[in-house]
Amino acid sequence: MIKRSEYERVQEQAAAAIRAAGIQLTAAEAARIEVVDFGLSHVAVEGVQVFTMFATERISAKVLVMLPHQTEPEHWHPPVGGDPGKEETIRVIAGTLLFFIPGPDTMREGWVPAGKAGCYSCRHEIVLKPCDQLTLPPGTKHWFQARDGGAVFYSFSTCVRDGLDRFTDPAIVRQTVISEDDEVEAGAR
């Protein structure tokens, strides 16, 4: 759960990062940026900000924003019916993105969020800088995180079914729940 004031603050940070990366964004588009906390209630540590440019039944294009030191939890895009699952290409626009996939443990710059060692099994590190890109076949387990300055990157993919993504961390809930600030304060009394 995330408080509305924090959601809006992070949404504004994401819009500013997208614009600073040279991507034009209207006010209406900025208001559509999704702040995802994965139900963990610490979006600055584990979360991601997503601006969906378009999503049809066959393809999708998004701009993702990672705050400095933010991590998107380990996940994969499973098969659905006769579809093998989402195929995705990541292309970095700004900042440095540390990407982790199955393979030999080459983790040098990345880190696993405190207390979450069992939830991050992929340790093959790929450092992506502006203009670098990586294509993930369907069903590939992966996670990523930003360095000091955060990161902005494109995600181009086949059909998106984010609600069906699978996560290594069993505590994750994909749907963001926003609480009003006064509800949180009243609950604390």
In a domain, 186, yes or no: no
- Three-state SS at 165: coil
In a domain, 187, yes or no: no
> How much is the pTM?
0.92
In a domain, 188, yes or no: no
pLDDT digits (tens, 9 = 90+) for 69-105: 999 999 999 988 888 889 999 999 999 999 999 999 9
- Please report the pLDDT score of residue 186 as a whole number: 53
* Tokens read off for 120: 């991050």
In a domain, 189, yes or no: no
pLDDT at 185 over 60: no
**Interatomic CA distance for residues 36 and 66, integer angstroms:** 11
Residue 124 structural domain: 2-180
| Structural domain total, the chain | 1
CATH code for position 66: 2.60.120.10
- Which of 130, 122, 17 lies closest to 67 in space, CA to CA? 17
- Please report the pLDDT score of residue 182 as a whole number: 80
**Interatomic CA distance for residues 28 and 117, integer angstroms:** 39
* 46-68 burial code (b ≥16 CB/10 A, e <16): bbbbbbbeeeeeeebebbbbbbe
In a domain, 162, yes or no: yes
**Interatomic CA distance for residues 156 and 138, integer angstroms:** 13
Do the strands 48-55 and 59-66 form a parallel or antiparallel pair, or are they unpaired? antiparallel
Average of per-residue pLDDT values in the chain: 94
In a domain, 26, yes or no: yes
pLDDT digits (tens, 9 = 90+) for 159-168: 777 778 999 9
In a domain, 128, yes or no: yes
In a domain, 185, yes or no: no
- Please report the pLDDT score of residue 66 as a whole number: 98
